[in-house]
Amino acid sequence: MLPGSNHKGIHVEQIKIILKSGKDQSVRRYHPWIFSGAIKKIYGSPSEGDIVDVYDNKDSFLATGHYQPGSIAVRILSFKNEKIDYDFFMGRFKKAFEYRQSLGLTDNNDTNVYRLVHAEGDGLPGLIIDFYNGTAVMQMHSIGMYRLRNEFTDILKNILGEKLQAVYDKSEDTLPYMAGIKGTNEYLSGSPEASTVTENGFTFRIDWISGQKTGFFIDQRENRLLLQSYTEKRRVLNLFGYTGGFSVYAMKNASLVHTVDSSGPAIDLADENVRLNFGEDDRHKSFRKDAFGFMDDIKDKYDVIILDPPAFAKHNNVLANALQGYKRLNIKAIEQVSPGGIIFTFSCSQVVTKENFRKSVFAAAANTGRQVRILHQLSQPPDHPVNIYHPEGEYLKGLVLYVE
Ligand code: SAH
């Protein structure tokens, strides 16, 4: 049900939040979060996930959004005074779909996996939807969005029509802790016909049920393609390999590809994905090992090294440690990559800025004393758009280095 409204979207009760003087500035610049410290008064007693209206302290309307007790108190859905009803969400979903359509992602024989909804980037804070060749995997990060999962399933059916076979809700581990509501991992509709997808012509088995995140790191699609252009006849080391995304692209023309991940299921999946594309091919080997330990003594065995670790920092209070982690990792790679070698190095921590990440890599390079050039500065692809008013949405950062 749409909270605070019946199914037709008629508001039943309106909850009003008044901001402290001066705290309206970021909202007027369309930033989609209201922090709890900015609130002067709440009229009514909103439950988590209710729709609330936000006003400045002179009683001018500012925005409407989902309420949540905690540091981010309101996730804004609209800066217009409009009803947040079924049609509202239908409109936002349609825009998200049409945008991907304009990117050529929705009817593409080479790629049938893409992100359909990217939270704030699509004006839908708290909601992620990834499309895997017929199956939409939804991940809700707010109770406001979680409560609407059945409406969203309906909307997806409406927009995707025959393209949609199943909708899977994977919110068990993503709902805010405060809520006391346990999310679910379950099919909300249909059952999948395929568990493989095609990305740039390569086949990948996706395990959205027990895999990490929604099952696949779609956000590296364009970076994987770029990697491929650097791997011809090269010896490639893919650290933190997960499904073997980078490894599969590299296998196209590398002389050797080694995948390292500390997780057994990840290694199995990487092996399977290489097999799906190249059959039994002894150019590929996988290692279930800690990436840091693996690099202790690789000397100049590799010409291309990929470092795509999990988010080292999930919160600002561990930022310094995370930056040290990136530095340590990059020192090992820069020190040992063969002369003329290439390093693809990434950070997907939202709290690590582009500048901070670059400083860590710079510090790592300086530590080794080798000559290093930056060839590319990478980010996330356009199906993971960054809302210009929400710079926090730019979470994926990468550098491609040439090491003399
Ligand atoms: N590059 C991947 C995504 C990486 S996700 C892709 O393109 O799909 C991060 C991966 O790092 C996970 O699979 C996790 O199991 C692995 N991991 C986490 N800590 C690790 C460690 N210390 N050593 C090796 N792998 C690790």
Nearest CA to ligand 1 atom 11: 240
Nearest CA to ligand 1 atom 22: 290
Q: φ, ψ for residue 330 (rounded to 5)?
A: -70, -30
As a 3-state breakdown, the chain gives helix, strand, coil percent values, each rounded to 5, of 30, 30, 40
pTM above 0.75, yes or no: yes
Instruction: State which H helix or E strand residue 399 sits in.
Output: strand 397-403
Pocket test for ligand 1, best of 225, 259, 261 (most atoms within 8 A of CB): 261
Index of the ligand 1 atom closest to the CA of residue 242:
13
> Distance between CA atoms of 208 and 218, rounded to whole angstroms?
12
Beta bridge partners of 41: 18
Give the residues surrounding ligand 1 with Cβ less than 6 Å away: 217, 220, 240-243, 245-246, 260-263, 266, 290-292, 308-310
270 alpha carbon to ligand 1 midpoint, in Å? 11
238 alpha carbon to ligand 1 midpoint, in Å? 10
19 alpha carbon to ligand 1 midpoint, in Å? 42
Nearest CA to ligand 1 atom 19: 262
Structure tokens given for 252? 């196209």
- Does residue 183 surpass a pLDDT of 90? no
- Most distant CA pair in the chain, distance: 70
Structure tokens given for 16? 């009003």
Q: How are beta strands 397-403 and 341-347 bridged, if at all? A: antiparallel
Measured torsion, CA atoms of residues 202, 174, 385, 346, in degrees rounded to the nearest 10: -60
Write the pLDDT tens digit of every residue in 235-292: 999 999 999 999 999 999 999 999 999 999 999 999 999 999 999 999 999 999 999 9
164 alpha carbon to ligand 1 midpoint, in Å? 30
- Does residue 6 surpass a pLDDT of 60? no
> Distance between CA atoms of 212 and 218, rounded to whole angstroms?
12
- Does residue 78 surpass a pLDDT of 50? yes
Core vs surface per residue 29-58: b (16+ CB within 10 A) or e:
eebbbbeeebbeeeeeebebbbbbbbbbee
Index of the ligand 1 atom closest to the CA of residue 310:
9
Index of the ligand 1 atom closest to the CA of residue 346:
1
- Does residue 342 surpass a pLDDT of 90? yes
240 alpha carbon to ligand 1 midpoint, in Å? 3
Across the chain, how many H-helices and E-strands are there? 10, 20
- Note the pLDDT of residue 271: 98
Q: Are 40 and 57 in contact (CB under 8 A)?
A: yes
Average confidence (pLDDT) over 35-42: 97
Index of the ligand 1 atom closest to the CA of residue 220:
7
323 alpha carbon to ligand 1 midpoint, in Å? 17
